[in-house]
Amino acid sequence: MAQNPFASAMSQLQTAARAMNLAPSLLKALQKPQRILDVAIPVRMDDGSTKVFNGYRVQFNDARGPFKGGIRYHWDTNLNEVKALAFWMAMKCAVVGIPYGGAKGGITVDPKQLSLGELERLSRGWVQAMFKYIGPWQDVPAPDIYTTPQIMAWMVDEYSKQAGQWSPAAFTGKPIEVGGSEGRMFSTSQGGFYVLEELAKKMKFVPRRTLVAIQGFGNVGAFAAEIFHQAGYVVVAVSDSKGGIVNLKGLDVPAVWKHKEATGSVQGFAGTKPIDNKKILELPIHVLVPSALEGVITGANASRIKAKAILELANGPTTPEADVKLFKRKIPVVPDILANAGGVTGSYFEWAQNLNGVHWTEREVLTKLKPIMVESFDAVWKMAERHQVNLRTGAYMVAIDRIAKAMKLRGRV
Ligand code: NAD
């Protein structure tokens, strides 16, 4: 996460507000969260002692629907970061037009240091502290970094106990057995694929001649590699935290998956050359897909990027300085709030199924996901073209316009 993520979020907001001539009262209303919950969570540890953890929920804006956003368990998690992430969630939900506001939560903790029992008590403690302020029509949390479907299962159980009734729509990202949705595991990457297809049309890329490099081979990057490869795109390089591999003729992605499963890394895959995580960003390719860390494309390396376009599946991989340089070089950057919004859209489908007591097939989920991603890309591209701004500012303008309209209609500004 960047040094001051909230400052960076507010600078993006300012840029879009200027480009769209946003009324000062609206700008002010979007510069502050509606509510900040900053709580102590006491947990009885296995050795009988009690440890107190810091827990957060920032509810940024709910003009368009219930607050929505993940809960992060991380030793560096702090209120400033959670505020930025909550703001970005409000923008993300608005840019794809799903009926949610934005929120984010977290606990400052290294979950790997806890036993399973301690982790369960901590997760239930977060729900007990937040209970009055969350719920299916109020605020719907989901997993984020180091929070899992199992943690969502504990949380939905605790919420349901407190509410006195089974309330699956209170959390998303649950295991299928307790109300989870088909396709949620790869909806971020699948949504990214639909966006890639639209981008390819604009850039006149033909899949079989389109070279793609993907930084990160986790949940998002590995599924993206698989889906892009299946559709005929030539995935030439992938990487994980240990380093990357490249073959400009293309990788056999299913075989790379097997190699990663067997050895724990993509490295050493037959017929490839090693490449480090910095150099993978500078390959002579068509589409670069950062799918791991934030802040990897910076003012320092933006001039060395040789890709013709960037698809941000990670959150926040490009710094504001890099954005300016890439725009000047006419390299479109499809921003995270659009490119990876298939994830929250998958969550929205889970919530909708839970509220209606139904379970959709994977085909039904994907059939609903595609038009949302295609139409959102189209709206952002047109907005950016009309105002001669980059796609990130275009995406913010689409989102802010929708939030502003809801705020005005509801008489909030
Ligand atoms: P993950 O933990 O499953 O995978 C992260 C990948 O990054 C792993 O392959 C890891 O080895 C790699 N990595 C770690 N350090 C690295 C380094 N220094 N250089 C290169 N690679 C490194 O996480 P994920 O769920 O795939 O999330 C990846 C990104 O996508 C994050 O920015 C996340 O916020 C964003 N995102 C995820 C979802 C989702 O549905 N999972 C939705 C929206 C956005």
The pLDDT value given to residue 8:
84
Same fold, 34-180 and 181-413: yes
Compute φ and ψ for 243, nearest 5 degrees: 140, 180
Q: 133, 143 in Cβ contact below 8 A?
A: no
| CATH classification for the domain delimited by 181-413, as one of 3.90.180.10, 2.40.50.140, 3.40.50.1400, 3.40.50.720 | 3.40.50.720
Average pLDDT over residues 60-72: 98
Average pLDDT over residues 203-221: 97
Residue 2 has pLDDT above 70, yes or no: no
**Rounded percentage of the chain residues whose pLDDT exceeds 70:** 99
Q: What is the pTM of this model?
A: 0.96
Q: 174, 168 in Cβ contact below 8 A?
A: yes
Q: Would you state the structure tokens that stand for residue 164, as one six-digit string?
A: 């006195």
Q: Active-site residue among 104, 174, 308, 325?
A: 104
- What is the distance between the alpha carbons of residues 396 and 211, in angstroms, rounded to a whole number? 29
The pLDDT value given to residue 153:
98
Give yes or no for residue 354 CB within 6 A of ligand 1: no
Query: 175-204 in b/e burial notation, b at 16+ Cβ within 10 A?
Result: eeebbbbbbbbbbbbbbbbbbbbbbbeeee
* pLDDT (tens digit per residue) in 299-334: 999 999 999 999 999 998 999 999 999 999 999 999
Which residues share a beta bridge with 51? 43
Q: Would you state the structure tokens that stand for residue 234, as one six-digit string?
A: 């030539």
Q: How far is the CA of 409 from the centre of ligand 1 (A)?
A: 38
Q: Which strands sit side by side in the sheet containing 35-44, from one edge to the other?
A: 35-44, 50-61, 102-108, 67-74, 139-143
Average pLDDT over residues 163-184: 97
Q: How far is the CA of 404 from the centre of ligand 1 (A)?
A: 32
> Which numbered atom of ligand 1 lies nearest the CA of 341?
43
Listed in order, strand segments (DSSP E) in 263-385 are 273-275, 287-290, 309-311, 333-334
Strands 102-108 and 50-61 come out as antiparallel
The pLDDT value given to residue 294:
86
- Look up 104 and say whether it is catalytic: yes
Give yes or no for residue 278 CB within 6 A of ligand 1: no
Domain edges within the chain: 34-180, 181-413
Mean pLDDT taken over the chain = 96
CATH architecture of 34-180: 3-Layer(aba) Sandwich (3.40)
Give yes or no for residue 190 CB within 6 A of ligand 1: no
Strands 67-74 and 50-61 come out as unpaired
| pLDDT range class, residue 3, cuts 50, 70, 90 | low
Residue 64 has pLDDT above 60, yes or no: yes
- What is the distance between the alpha carbons of residues 120 and 109, in angstroms, rounded to a whole number? 13
Average pLDDT over residues 156-170: 98
Q: How far is the CA of 109 from the centre of ligand 1 (A)?
A: 19
Q: Would you state the structure tokens that stand for residue 176, as one six-digit string?
A: 């299928």
